[in-house]
Amino acid sequence: MQLLENNLTRSATLKQRREKLAQLLEHPVILWSGAALSRNFPANRYPFRASSHFLYFAGLPLEKAAIRLYQGKLELFVDESSPESALWYGQMPTRDEIAAYIGADAAYPFSELSVVTAEAATIAVGDIKTYQQQCQLLQRQVAPANAPTGIDLELVKAIIRLRLTHDTEALNELKKAASVSVKAHQAGMQATPHSKTEAEVRGAIESVILAHNMQCAYGSIVTVHGEVLHNEQYDYRLESGDLLLADVGAETETGWASDITRTWPVTGKFSSTQRDIYDLVLAAHDACIEKIRPGVEYQDIHLLAAYVMASGLVDLGILKGNPADLVEMDAHALFFPHGIGHLLGLDVHDMEDLGDLAGYETGRSRSQRFGLGYLRLNRPLKAGMLVTIEPGFYQVPAILNHPQFRAKYEQVVNWSRLAKFADVRGIRIEDDVLVTESGTEVLTASLPNKADEIENLMA
Amino acid sequence: MQLLENNLTRSATLKQRREKLAQLLEHPVILWSGAALSRNFPANRYPFRASSHFLYFAGLPLEKAAIRLYQGKLELFVDESSPESALWYGQMPTRDEIAAYIGADAAYPFSELSVVTAEAATIAVGDIKTYQQQCQLLQRQVAPANAPTGIDLELVKAIIRLRLTHDTEALNELKKAASVSVKAHQAGMQATPHSKTEAEVRGAIESVILAHNMQCAYGSIVTVHGEVLHNEQYDYRLESGDLLLADVGAETETGWASDITRTWPVTGKFSSTQRDIYDLVLAAHDACIEKIRPGVEYQDIHLLAAYVMASGLVDLGILKGNPADLVEMDAHALFFPHGIGHLLGLDVHDMEDLGDLAGYETGRSRSQRFGLGYLRLNRPLKAGMLVTIEPGFYQVPAILNHPQFRAKYEQVVNWSRLAKFADVRGIRIEDDVLVTESGTEVLTASLPNKADEIENLMA
């Protein structure tokens, strides 16, 4: 790890964050960073990703470290790297250098953590070894992160309150991630006409993220089968007439994520059926962003997307009936079966380790409705929140051929008309939208999303 | 997962492997594939890597699966994907399709594994959750993979005997990995003169691996500070006069690895000091490969490299004395502190999960000598073994400034002469060398390694 010059803004921000936490919680807090996980043998490790809660307050992806936050102070617990490790890993910053960089009030060897664990709240981390250490050092069974109890629940609520809206430093990082992701998608569009496979386009996109010394925030989706919603394979050849869906986002060194989806024609030209549906998805996307401002319910944004989609599908002759009634019966979800988006921050689905505690306002829970149950965010929007807006249209065989759906929606779908749109298997358009006092700022706005613009970029 | 047409060669090879295992071991064997590990929240997963021992006999990276091998038969235990998962992950092959593809003799839901665990030998996998399941289903404490006991040790010995030499199907995969890695390094060389940072070159190299729908077999090293031996950061800018060291290898979909290092000048032209040392490292590399044939001790190959390095450093005026004596006192290890190479196969350090059980002939253990202790392989070579040959020269501050080394080697190093080679911080040249009946076949031979060839490629 190279520490760049001490960044006063950064350490001041970290101080602000822990002071805010202290206002919300009287208990001491200990957050663990976690440990790298091994791939096929111990020394062959996946790239280390520190816990997001740790990163939020510590600001650096330190491995096998913990911070204790109490009354606005931060104590760092981490071991110095051994002299032998300098041979293999080079000279690392000392504990004191790290402490100075992040503005810690004190720093100790990791072993000293055990003497200050009394009455501390924590959040369970994902890797089991570190989790076992949490339980051992706190001398209690720490509940899973998505079901905290007692002081841990209080801590989770306080952290959610902080992380739900982003400070300036966070926004700077989120904008960096967005900017690199935009360049990555542009590279993907431009590489597509010369590429023969999904894998080649993925290589072109991710190489831009790597070249900026960032990582992918999640497993990229780069596929001509966009109807497979979580398709993380890149086996298919690109065929003329295919649409390619790319859902790829960069993550900065300190863990802040971006999340962008674009869909473009393999040849660089949309067919007329593809363009009809593409323009409809974009209309839903634009209508949602237009509507976003503080106080608006995110679920209403989702329902607006559903309405625009239903309405447009009626206009295209694919659905039959009154758009509002169609949404009421979840007919839109035949083609748009997921939520309109989610929180974005240190995690691509921000704070999803906490289950729905962050995504759902206290007292709310997931709907049983087919058209609402997959919504990851159900809160009134506030200035400083960053959300994705990602409507889509998919022809998912598992849905469209499902006897139960087939029966329920037999009368409202014009199946023979739908058959004319066979070259539209999956379209999604996703941008990262910051809620501002006056409305929105789209962090990913510099990436074209109009069909004409995309065709021009690919020409 | 797309299953390509049933490959008869593949299933015949898998059958051969388990029949050979049955000849070596009477006990039934159960091998687990493992589960994907999560990154910052449960649904955000690292790319799944199945256990190499599982892959060797099952041939496909199935998740949460197990195979039972007994008397040459293979029973597969894996759950079908749920109908709901088709919505998100698409239509997956059925259990029977997978079983047919890999030539399984029978296939069952995973839960049925519990009734056939009696007296089965196994090898502990890396991910703790699966490991806990192994202990639970076998109703015993399974020892770590690097310290097996009883029937598990018998199994480990049998598997080592099989995996130490490669069959035709394995070699086909290893050659595919090598071929893509060669292209990746070529792309890196060609991208370097137009790149400003290590990260950009890394992006150019890894994009080729991704474009071939492969993964990196290990965390890439792409750095102008090659003297940091395990440097997995890409922070530095490329400066005129720097050498860039790239240690990057691809891994095929079924897990077979490649491992290549090249070192090239950022400007495309070696300085005269860089070329002197480069040519010496290449001479050591070539001498080792020249010497390899069945029956030769790998440690002698290592000592040959040490001798060539010591001899050349004497010729260059950096070391003083008789080369054989210098090697005897480990003076070469001041500049070449690691082993000459290791086994290569399904793991980049093949079977390193087993500690030194695979790398070291029974009865042998690591030397305490500075110049030998880091050797990962100490066996007589056999036809069909694949090893790396990777001599290097490094100026590691933690070694060269170490008071103990400084005192011990004060008289044999010409420090002022060494200072003239300050622009050579780290050089390594690594190829993948198959031991054949008649000598060797270098799987990575198509990638230039002569200084002139590299300059030409970069021109």
Give tens-digit pLDDT for A194-248: 999 999 999 999 999 999 999 999 999 999 999 998 888 999 999 999 999 999 9
pLDDT of residue A5: 54
Q: For residue A402, give both structure tokens.
A: 């499902």
Q: Measured between CB atoms, does B199 come within 8 Å of chain A?
A: yes
Q: For residue A316, give both structure tokens.
A: 């295209």
- Kindly tell me the burial class for residue A411, based on how many C-beta atoms sit within 10 Å of its own C-beta (0-12, 13-18, 19 or more): exposed
Q: Measured between CB atoms, does B194 come within 8 Å of chain A?
A: no
Nearest beta carbon to residue B398 from set A86, A197, A229 = A86
Closest CA to A277 of A426, A446, A99: A426
* Pairwise CA distance, residues B387 & A135, whole Å: 43
Closest CA to A408 of A335, A323, A329: A329
DSSP for A305-330, please give it. Answer: HHHHHHHHHHHTTSB-S-HHHHHHTT
* Pairwise CA distance, residues A192 & A458, whole Å: 8
Chain A closest-CA separation from residue B384 CA (Å): 22
* Contact predicate A187/A206, CB 8 Å: no
Surface of B (388-447) touching A: CB under 8 A? 396-399
Q: Are strands A73-77 and A66-70 parallel, antiparallel or unpaired?
A: antiparallel
Q: Which residue in the block uniquely carries the two structure tokens 């490969």?
A: B289
* Contact predicate B218/B348, CB 8 Å: yes
Between CA A227 and CA A233, with CA A231 as vertex, the angle to 5 degrees is 130
Substitution target in B40, B335, B352 with the highest count of A β-carbons within 10 Å is: B40
In the sheet that holds B439-442, the strands lie side by side as B386-389, B431-436, B439-442
Amino acid at position A360, single letter: Y
Residue of A nearest to B191 (CA): A211
How many helices (H) and strands (E) chain A has is answered by: 15, 14
Q: Measured between CB atoms, does A33 come within 8 Å of chain B?
A: no
Cα of A352 vs its chain's centroid, Å = 9
Residues with pLDDT less than 70, chain B: 1-7
The verdict on a CB contact (< 8 Å) between A90 and B212 is: no
* Pairwise CA distance, residues A395 & A320, whole Å: 17
The verdict on a CB contact (< 8 Å) between A233 and B1 is: yes
The verdict on a CB contact (< 8 Å) between A202 and B208 is: no
Nearest beta carbon to residue B353 from set A37, A41, A47 = A41
Beta-carbon contacts of A129 under 8 Å, excluding residues fewer than 6 positions away, are A35, B128
Q: Which residue in the block uniquely carries the two structure tokens 């239509």?
A: B91
pLDDT of residue A87: 77
Chain B closest-CA separation from residue A235 CA (Å): 7
**pLDDT tens per residue, range A335-393:** 999 999 999 999 999 999 999 999 999 999 999 998 899 999 999 999 999 999 999 99
The verdict on a CB contact (< 8 Å) between B349 and A90 is: no
Cα of A219 vs its chain's centroid, Å = 11
> What does the longest C-alpha to C-alpha distance in chain B come to?
74
Closest CA to A395 of A411, A374, A417: A417
pLDDT of residue A1: 57
Surface of A (275-334) touching B: CB under 8 A? none
Nearest beta carbon to residue A207 from set B37, B206, B349 = B206
* Fold that domain A168-458 belongs to in CATH: Creatine Amidinohydrolase (3.90.230)
What burial letters (b/e) apply to B135-158, b meaning 16+ CB within 10 Å?
Answer: eebbeeebbebbebeebbebbbbb
Q: For residue A418, give both structure tokens.
A: 């739908």
What burial letters (b/e) apply to A127-153, b meaning 16+ CB within 10 Å?
Answer: bbebbebbeebbeeebbebbebeebbe
Beta-carbon contacts of B230 under 8 Å, excluding residues fewer than 6 positions away, are A88, A89, B221
What's the number of CA atoms in the CB half-sphere (13 Å) around residue A196?
Answer: 3
* Pairwise CA distance, residues B424 & B246, whole Å: 15
Cα of A283 vs its chain's centroid, Å = 23
Between CA A32 and CA A75, with CA A345 as vertex, the angle to 5 degrees is 30
pLDDT of residue A4: 57
* Contact predicate B152/B122, CB 8 Å: yes
Q: Is the dihedral of CA B231, B234, B240, B245 positive or negative?
A: positive
Surface of A (66-125) touching B: CB under 8 A? 83, 86-91
**Where are the domains positioned within chain A?**
8-163, 168-458
pLDDT of residue B17: 98
Q: Is the dihedral of CA A113, A118, A122, A126 positive or negative?
A: positive
Q: For residue A317, give both structure tokens.
A: 């002759």
Between CA A359 and CA A362, with CA A361 as vertex, the angle to 5 degrees is 120
* Pairwise CA distance, residues A268 & A454, whole Å: 8
Contacts of B206 in chain A (CB under 8 A): 203, 206-207, 210
The verdict on a CB contact (< 8 Å) between B40 and A87 is: no
User: Phi and psi at residue A394, in whole multiples of 5°?
Assistant: -140, 145
The verdict on a CB contact (< 8 Å) between B398 and A212 is: no
The verdict on a CB contact (< 8 Å) between A41 and B229 is: no
Chain B closest-CA separation from residue A438 CA (Å): 32
pLDDT of residue B230: 87
Helices B451-458 and B272-291, interaxial angle, to 10°?
Answer: 120
- Top CATH class of A8-163 equals alpha beta
pLDDT of residue A3: 63
Q: For residue B322, give both structure tokens.
A: 């008789």
What burial letters (b/e) apply to B259-273, b meaning 16+ CB within 10 Å?
Answer: bbbbbbbbbbbbbee
Cβ-Cβ pairs closer than 8 A, A with B, add up to 174
Neighbours of B339 (CB within 10 A): 23
Q: Is B213 helix (H, G, I), strand (E, B) or coil?
A: coil
Q: Residues of chain A with pLDDT > 90: what percent?
A: 93
User: Length of chain A in residues, anyone?
Assistant: 459
Residues with pLDDT less than 50, chain A: none
